[in-house]
C-alpha cells in the first residue's frame, strides 16, 4: 500500500480535483488531501477578524469563500443527486464556521475553524469518486491522528487506530483522509502546523509500513534552489533523507521540515511528484541515495536580494556580466560573511554577559554581609576548583 498526498494547488479547482481522481483510482492506496489552495489562508483571515471581535469582517470572508465552493460544486459533479449531497456538505461546514462569529473566540475555536478546509476537500473528493462509481472510503483523521502532551505525534496511538479503521473497510477500493488536522492529547481538534499535510502523509506511511510515500505538488520535484527566488533551477532526481531534511529546514517549501523523520526512521522512500506533469520522474528521497552527490541549497529571499544588489553593483562598476559561477561564489561568500557577523555578534553578546556578571559580583562584594545570599560554593572554590 502507498500513501499519496496532494497539496492545495493539486486540488485547487474542480478541474484539478478531476485530474487527481484519475491519478488515484486503480490501486488500493491511502490518499491524503490538503485544503483547496487559498482556503486555509481564508480561514486564518476569518479567525483574525474573530479575534479582533469583528464578525462583519469575518462574515464577508466566509460568504465569499462559501460562494467559491458552490461554484466548484457546479463544475465538479454531473448529477443533481451528487450536487445536492455536496451542497449539504458545504452548508454543514460553513454553518459550523458561522457559529463561531457569535461567541467568544479563542485558540481552541481557531483550531476548529482551520480544520474545515481539509474536511471539505476530502468530503468533496470522496463524493466525486463515489459519483464516478469508485468505492472510496473516507477515513477521518480526527479519529486516528493524535499528538501527545508534548504536542508531538503519538505513533503508537496513530498506528493502532488507523489500522483498525482500515480493517473495518475490507471492500474499499481506496481510502481518502485529511492532511494537517489531528486531535491533541486532550481530544481537542488541533493541527500539525501550516503545510503539515506532508507530515500527516509521512506519519500515515510509517503507521501502515507503506511501500512508498508520494508527495504530489505543483512542481517536478525538489529543485537545486528555491524556484520562487532563483531563476533557472532544475529538479534533483535523487536525494538522501538527510539532505532533503536539510533543504526543507532551510525553506524548501515543497517539503514540510518535520515530514522526513517518520519516513526515514521506517525506511520508507518518499517520492516528490508533479500533479500537472504526472509522467515526470520527480525526486526520489531514500536512505539508499549516496550522500553529498547533490549540489542543492536553499537560500533565504532576503539574503538573495542583498547579494543580487551587491553583484549588480559590481557588474556596473566593472562593465561586464558575471558568469553563473561567479554569481554562485558571490552568494556563498556573502553567506559566509553573514555567518561570521552572526558569530561575532553572539561572541560580543557573550562578552557583554560576562562583563555584566563581573559587575554584579563586584556589587555583591561591596554589599553589607546581610545582603549576601548564601550559596553552597564559596567564590574561591568556584575560581580555583
35 in contact with ligand ASP (CB under 6 A)? yes
Element (H, E) at 288: none
Residues that bind ligand ADP (CB under 6 A): 7-10, 34, 195, 217-219, 222-223, 225-228, 247, 252-254, 298
User: 149, exposed or middle or buried, with CB in 10 Å at 0-12, 13-18, 19+?
Assistant: exposed
Residue 4 φ/ψ, nearest 5 degrees: -115, 120
Pairing, β 30-33 against β 2-6: parallel
DSSP letters of 255-310? S-GGGHHHHHHTT--EEEEETTSTTS--EEEESSSPTT--------HHHHHHHHHH
Site string for ligand ASP, 114-143 (x = CB under 6 A): ---x--------------------------
153 in contact with ligand ASP (CB under 6 A)? no
6 in contact with ligand ASP (CB under 6 A)? no
Site string for ligand ASP, 184-213 (x = CB under 6 A): ----------xxxx----------------
Q: How many helices (H) and strands (E) does the chain have?
A: 12, 10
Strand arrangement, sheet containing 174-178:
136-139, 174-178, 30-33, 2-6, 212-217, 270-274, 283-286, 238-240
Half-sphere exposure of 218 (CA within 13 A, CB side): 12
Nearest distance in Å: CB 197, ligand ASP: 3
Residue 226 interacts with which of Mg ion, ligand ASP, ligand ADP, none, CB < 5 to 8 Å by class: ligand ADP
Question: Grid coordinates representing 13?
Answer: 479547482
Q: How many residues sit in the footprint of ligand ASP (CB under 6 A)? A: 12
Toward ligand ADP, which CB reaches closer, 129 or 255?
255
Nearest distance in Å: CB 31, ligand ADP: 14
Nearest distance in Å: CB 67, ligand ADP: 22
Toward ligand ASP, which CB reaches closer, 192 or 331?
192
Residue 180 interacts with which of ligand ASP, Mg ion, ligand ADP, none, CB < 5 to 8 Å by class: ligand ASP
Pairing, β 189-191 against β 212-217: unpaired
CA distance 166 to 146: 17
Toward ligand ADP, which CB reaches closer, 147 or 214?
214
Contact (CB, 8 A) for 152 and 145: no
Residues that bind Mg ion (CB under 5 A): 7, 195
Toward ligand ASP, which CB reaches closer, 50 or 181?
181
CA distance 360 to 354: 10
User: 227, exposed or middle or buried, with CB in 10 Å at 0-12, 13-18, 19+?
Assistant: middle
Nearest distance in Å: CB 328, ligand ADP: 15
> What does DSSP assign to residue 52?
T
Nearest distance in Å: CB 108, ligand ASP: 18
Q: Which stretch binds ligand ASP (CB under 6 A): 21-29, 34-42, 124-132, 369-377?
A: 34-42
Residue 218 interacts with which of ligand ASP, ligand ADP, Mg ion, none, CB < 5 to 8 Å by class: ligand ADP
Residue 10 interacts with which of ligand ASP, ligand ADP, Mg ion, none, CB < 5 to 8 Å by class: ligand ADP
CA distance 78 to 179: 27
CA distance 144 to 208: 12
> What does DSSP assign to residue 153?
B
Toward ligand ADP, which CB reaches closer, 254 or 307?
254
Q: Which stretch binds ligand ASP (CB under 6 A): 33-41, 168-176, 182-190, 211-219?
A: 33-41
Contact positions vs ligand ASP (CB under 6 A): 7-8, 34-35, 40, 117, 179-180, 194-197
Amino acid at each position: 500500500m502507498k500513501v499519496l498526498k496532494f497539496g492545495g494547488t493539486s486540488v485547487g479547482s474542480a478541474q484539478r480535483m478531476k485530474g487527481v481522481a484519475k491519478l488515484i483510482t486503480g490501486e488500493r492506496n491511502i490518499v491524503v488531501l490538503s485544503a483547496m489552495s487559498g482556503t486555509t489562508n481564508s480561514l486564518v483571515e476569518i479567525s483574525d477578524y474573530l479575534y479582533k471581535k469583528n464578525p462583519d469582517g469575518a462574515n464577508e470572508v466566509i460568504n465569499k469563500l462559501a460562494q467559491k465552493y458552490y461554484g466548484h460544486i457546479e463544475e465538479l459533479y454531473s448529477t443533481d443527486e451528487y450536487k445536492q449531497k455536496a451542497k449539504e456538505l458545504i452548508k454543514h461546514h460553513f454553518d459550523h464556521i458561522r457559529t463561531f462569529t457569535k461567541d467568544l473566540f479563542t485558540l481552541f475555536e481557531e483550531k476548529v475553524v482551520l480544520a474545515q478546509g481539509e474536511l471539505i476537500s476530502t468530503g468533496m473528493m470522496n463524493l466525486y469518486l463515489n459519483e464516478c462509481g469508485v468505492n472510496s472510503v473516507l477515513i477521518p483523521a480526527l479519529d486516528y491522528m493524535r499528538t501527545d502532551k508534548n504536542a508531538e505525534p503519538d505513533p503508537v496511538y496513530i498506528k493502532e487506530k488507523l489500522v483498525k479503521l482500515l480493517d473495518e473497510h475490507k471492500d474499499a477500493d481506496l481510502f481518502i483522509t485529511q492532511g494537517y488536522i489531528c486531535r491533541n492529547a486532550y481530544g481537542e481538534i488541533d493541527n500539525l502546523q501550516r503545510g503539515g499535510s506532508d507530515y500527516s502523509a509521512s506519519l500515515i506511511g510509517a503507521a501502515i509500513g507503506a511501500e512508498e510515500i508520494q508527495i504530489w505538488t505543483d512542481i517536478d520535484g525538489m529543485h537545486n534552489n528555491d524556484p520562487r527566488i532563483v531563476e533557472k533551477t532544475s529538479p534533483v532526481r535523487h536525494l538522501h533523507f538527510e539532505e532533503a531534511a536539510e533543504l526543507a529546514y532551510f525553506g524548501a517549501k515543497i517539503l514540510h521540515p518535520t515530514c522526513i523523520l517518520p519516513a526515514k526512521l521506517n525506511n520508507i522512500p518518499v517520492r516528490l511528484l508533479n500533479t500537472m506533469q504526472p509522467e515526470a520522474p520527480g525526486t526520489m528521497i531514500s536512505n539508499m541515495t549516496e550522500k553529498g552527490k547533490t549540489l542543492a541549497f536553499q537560500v533565504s529571499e532576503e539574503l538573495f536580494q542583498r547579494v543580487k544588489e551587491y553583484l549588480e553593483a559590481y557588474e556596473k562598476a566593472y562593465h561586464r556580466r558575471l558568469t553563473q559561477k561567479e554569481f554562485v561564489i558571490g552568494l556563498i561568500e556573502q553567506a559566509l560573511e553573514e555567518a561570521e557577523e552572526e558569530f561575532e555578534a553572539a561572541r560580543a553578546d557573550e562578552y557583554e554577559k560576562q562583563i555584566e556578571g563581573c559587575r554584579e559580583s563586584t556589587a555583591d562584594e561591596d554589599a553589607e554581609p546581610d545582603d549576601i545570599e548564601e550559596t553552597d560554593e564559596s567564590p574561591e572554590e568556584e575560581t580555583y576548583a
